[in-house]
């Protein structure tokens, strides 16, 4: 995989055994064509952003190396989501599995289907905490260093903690 792209994928779930959803999805990322899971963050628990009448989320970030171009990778991620029973219901509602391309190499992409780096990245503790665990010194194209983005999060933003039950597999 000489010309493989280094990509960070955000994972989130708050339904149907979220930890299992995330750990299985990481294995499935590793099995995508021309793709290898290099590292995965710990699992983090957080209150839902958006409507509060839903369970807490478990979030994580995977670092992968892939020969897939951005849109074929998006198709592949949506295939994994669908296989996990993901149905798109209400906006910002609960979900069994959400997979987002956070960062694709040093590229800035803006198509009808895809905006990369992910626009929510600089403001979302549930993305920045696991990303900073893997790559604090990484520069998010157009945004700055991950560690600086994390430091800039609103003081009132909750400090996420590693999900204590997460290691029991
Ligand atoms: N809230 C948290 N904490 N984590 C998520 O992954 C997440 N994903 C979403 C919404 C419903 C917006 N809220 C979230 O899609």
Give phi and psi for 33, each to the nearest 5: -60, 135
- Cα 2 to ligand 1 centroid, rounded to whole Å: 35
> If you take atom 11 of ligand 1, which residue's CA is the nearest one?
92
The atom number, within ligand 1, closest to the CA of 51 reads: 11
Q: What pLDDT, in 10s, does the model give residues 48-103?
A: 999 999 999 999 999 999 999 999 999 999 999 999 987 666 788 889 999 999 99
What is the structure's pLDDT at 25? 98
Span 5-164 CATH architecture: 2-Layer Sandwich (3.30)
| Cβ-based neighbours of 68, under 8 Å, separated by 6 or more | 5, 32, 33, 34, 35, 76
Q: Is the dihedral of CA 147, 152, 154, 155 positive or negative?
A: positive
Cβ-contact 22, 98 below 8 angstroms: no
- And the tokens for 143? 């945004």
For a ligand 1 pocket test, name from 126, 127, 131, 159 the mutation site with the most ligand atoms within 8 angstroms of its C-beta: 126
Active site residue 95: yes
pLDDT at 101: 98
Catalytic residue flag (residue 100): yes
Read off the pLDDT of each residue in 147-157 and give the average, rounded to a whole number.
78
Exactly one of 40, 45, 98, 163 is catalytic; name it.
Answer: 98
**Spacing, Cα 85 to ligand 1 middle (Å):** 17
The residues that bridge with 162 in the sheet, in sequence order, are: 44
Using the predicted structure, report yes or no on whether residue 169 has a pLDDT greater than 70.
no
Spatial neighbors of 96 by CB under 8 A, at least 6 apart, are 13, 15, 16, 21, 84, 85, 86
List all residues whose CB is within 6 A of at least one atom of ligand 1: 12, 46, 48-50, 57, 59, 92, 98, 126
What pLDDT was estimated at residue 26? 98
CA–CA gap between residue 6 and residue 84 (Å, rounded): 25
Residue with more model confidence, 82 or 153? 82
Answer whether 0.75 is exceeded by the pTM: yes
């Amino acid at each position: 995989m000489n010309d493989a792209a280094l990509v960070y994928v955000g994972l989130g779930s708050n339904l149907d055994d979220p930890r299992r959803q995330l750990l299985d999805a990481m294995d499935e990322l590793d099995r995508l064509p021309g793709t290898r899971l290099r590292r995965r963050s710990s699992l983090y628990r957080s209150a839902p952003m958006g409507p509060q009448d839903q369970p807490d989320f478990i979030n994580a970030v995977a670092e992968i190396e892939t020969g897939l171009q951005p849109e074929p990778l998006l198709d592949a991620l949506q295939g994994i989501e669908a296989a996990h029973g993901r149905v798109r219901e209400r906006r910002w509602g609960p979900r069994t599995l959400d997979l987002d391309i956070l960062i694709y190499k040093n590229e800035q992409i803006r198509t009808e289907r895809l905006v990369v780096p992910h626009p929510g990245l600089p403001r979302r503790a549930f993305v920045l905490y696991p990303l900073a665990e893997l790559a604090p010194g990484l520069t998010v194209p157009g945004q700055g260093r991950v560690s600086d983005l994390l430091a800039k999060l609103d003081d009132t933003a909750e400090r996420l903690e590693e999900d204590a039950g997460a290691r029991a597999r």
